[in-house]
Structure 1
Amino acid sequence: MPAQMVMYAYLLMYPKPRVPAHWAVFVTPVEDGTVGQVYHAVGSPFTGYQVEVKPSYDLSETKRAHLLVFLGYIDESWQDQLAESAQSIKAPGVSPKPLVPFAGQNCQNWLEEFLQHLISVGAIDSSALAQLSTAPRT
């Protein structure tokens, strides 16, 4: 664990058969924590997406199957800026082919852009992209 005070960033995935899994960034102050903040794009290919920030999310209360992939450490000095950073990334609009599950952009594309932004401002290490690249898409 790094010497400075850090938060732990995870890819939170809700798998779905035959369609893209829902992806979110889950940030918690303790390793393997169950309570933290969630940053994600919600919506559908039919209606488009919007960025949503959940300032307090308890994973232990969800009944949905989920997976966590550790992305990296975020210095706690970034905590107050994460929501604003998330909101600065435009959410995907309506898909040109909403009946084709992987045809348009979705929450996964938004999360990749959000993560690239966090890397570009120095909030998280670029190794987070390697972790993301191994994550299941469905």
Structure 2
Amino acid sequence: MSILPLFLLLDRPTSTQRAHFSLFHPYTSSNSSPSSLGTVIHVVGAPMLGFALEFKRSYSPAENGLQNNMTFIGKINTENLHIWTGEQGIDDVPRGKVEDLAAGIRPPGVSANFFAPLNDTTNRRCQEWTIEFVRKLVEVGYLDSEAVELVQSKRDPPSFGIGLRPVPGGQ
């Protein structure tokens, strides 16, 4: 049985914005450094438009400046992962058991009130979707329960980054 690490990637464009969450698994365990290629599993979108599931194939955290924003959350058996051998790209077609589980979790829809604090049920974004996905991975036995605590500890407070901010130089 071969295993690969699974990481939480955090991308925070500015200090006043909520962090974008995604999960990343490198394709090899002997080269599981941040410079390794792997697949990113996440939802993308906006509260006023809704979100969609996306897979980034042959992705490099180092090439995208995220090598210092990775948190190890567990190890996954390779029989549950799809190891992409094609070119770098983005798609929404799940491959492998882990990606099938991701596809079974509804991405956040259009928010009824995107100025309201976030929660796990009625006002969700990428962080809430990711924690639900990690809970599912724990539920089916692919990850240990500590993974939920690790991801939960990285979440922003419910009201952080919500609301309008003044435009620099605006009236």
Coarse TM-score class (shorter-chain normalised): 0.7 to 0.9
- Which has the greater radius of gyration? 2
Judge conservation of contact 2:108–2:129 (CA < 8 Å) in 1. yes
What is residue 6 of structure 2 aligned with on the other side?
9
What is residue 17 of structure 2 aligned with on the other side?
19
> Structure 1 residue 136: deviation in Å?
4.7
- 2 CA distance for matches of 1:55 and 1:84? 15
What is the number of equivalent residue pairs in this alignment? Answer: 134
> Structure 1 residue 131: deviation in Å?
1.0
Instruction: Give the AA of the match of 2:75.
Output: Y
What is residue 32 of structure 1 aligned with on the other side?
33
Secondary structure of the equivalent of 1:115?
helix
> Structure 1 residue 84: deviation in Å?
1.2
> Structure 1 residue 101: deviation in Å?
7.2
- 2 CA distance for matches of 1:101 and 1:49? 17
What is residue 106 of structure 1 aligned with on the other side?
125
Which has the larger displacement, 30-39 or 120-129?
30-39
- 1 CA distance for matches of 2:57 and 2:11? 19
Q: 1:61 to 1:20 in 2, by over 3 A?
A: same
Higher RCO by CA contacts (8 Å cutoff, separation 6 or greater): 1
Instruction: Give the AA of the match of 2:5.
Output: Y
Q: 1:59 to 1:65 in 2, by over 3 A?
A: closer
Judge conservation of contact 2:80–2:97 (CA < 8 Å) in 1. yes
Judge conservation of contact 1:11–1:68 (CA < 8 Å) in 2. yes
TM-score by length of 1: 0.86
Identity of aligned residues (%): 28
What is residue 61 of structure 2 aligned with on the other side?
59
For structure 1, which runs of at least 5 residues remain unmatched after alignment? Answer: none
> Structure 1 residue 46: deviation in Å?
0.8
Counterpart mapping for 1:90-101 below 5 A: 90-98=106-114, 100=115
Judge conservation of contact 1:19–1:102 (CA < 8 Å) in 2. no
Bigger proportion of residues as strand: 1
TM-score by length of 2: 0.71
Secondary structure of the equivalent of 1:125?
coil
> Structure 1 residue 66: deviation in Å?
5.8
Bigger proportion of residues as helix: 1
Judge conservation of contact 2:40–2:59 (CA < 8 Å) in 1. yes
Judge conservation of contact 2:52–2:107 (CA < 8 Å) in 1. yes
Instruction: Give the AA of the match of 1:21.
Output: A
